[in-house]
Amino acid sequence: MIKKLSPLLLVFFLFACKAENSAEQLSESSNSESNDIWIDKENMADTSDLKATIENVTIVKSDLEKRMIKAGLVDIQSVDSSLKVDVKYATTDNFMDKVLYDGYDKVYLQPIVAERLSKAQKALQKIDSTLTLLVFDGTRPRSVQQEMWDALDSIPFNDRVKFVSNPVNGSIHNYGCAVDLTIINKYSGGWLDMGAEYDDLRKIAYPRHEAKFLASGELTQLQVDNRKLLRKVMRAGGFWVIETEWWHFNAFSRTKANEMFEIVE
């Protein structure tokens, strides 16, 4: 009987050794200079358990994403997979015409803010199941905020702060408590017409001037209604729009964000 079991025991022993060796290799890789794999050691199970180790490996594309995770922020699509993202600052399709998030094309927010965004998404789809939120930006490092601020140095200070918060004070984006977004048809991908593009510096993009531009015919009723729909569902999630950007919504005031969270530098 013992002779019959020996081959099985041998196979089991070899498999256990292989698993332990693989776990050691994964552990060693976490101490390397590679930016391809980041291991959450604090939440890692016993490294002898290969399956548990692999489940705690998060593949990341950049140091920026590591900083987001370290700060306790969450990927919004891990909270609500129905949310769509189009990270404009990971491309050249933005007001600076340059890539600001190198190798990073996700949207991270404070967990409580991501939950609010999911609530807004559900409010939108309850109104019209063919629509979905499309998110352009969430947490923005202050270093990127500084680049944006410097790029607009030809604009008078009082006008510049209407579009980009002074990095000295910190933007609500820097705390992971603000989001830029629009609404699209989730089947066609077409944007709802808001009468002005994302990152549009013109006053026609200002929510506070909508009545004026509607009266002049420069905005249509449909465009204003689309903006109102966006504001309605975002309010349902616990956000409010700012006066100068139809796409920008805050979950907390700067004072409250500063009390609760740290700036992502």
Inside any domain, residue 265: no
**Same domain as 67, residue 167:** yes
* 132 pLDDT tier (thresholds 50, 70, 90): very high
Please state, in angstroms and rounded to a whole number, the distance separating the CA atoms of residues 109 and 169: 19
Nearest residue to 227 via CA among 252, 202, 198 = 198
Count of structural domains within the chain: 2
Residue 161 has a pLDDT of 85
Please state, in angstroms and rounded to a whole number, the distance separating the CA atoms of residues 234 and 89: 22
Residue 162 has a pLDDT of 81
**Same domain as 95, residue 170:** yes
Dihedral, CA of residue 150, residue 164, residue 246 and residue 239, to nearest 10: 140
> Which residue, 59, 88, 104, sits at the end of a domain?
59
**Structural domain range at position 236:** 61-260
CATH of the domain at 221: 3.30.1380.10
Residue 163 has a pLDDT of 85
When the pLDDT of each residue in the chain is averaged and rounded to a whole number, the result is: 84
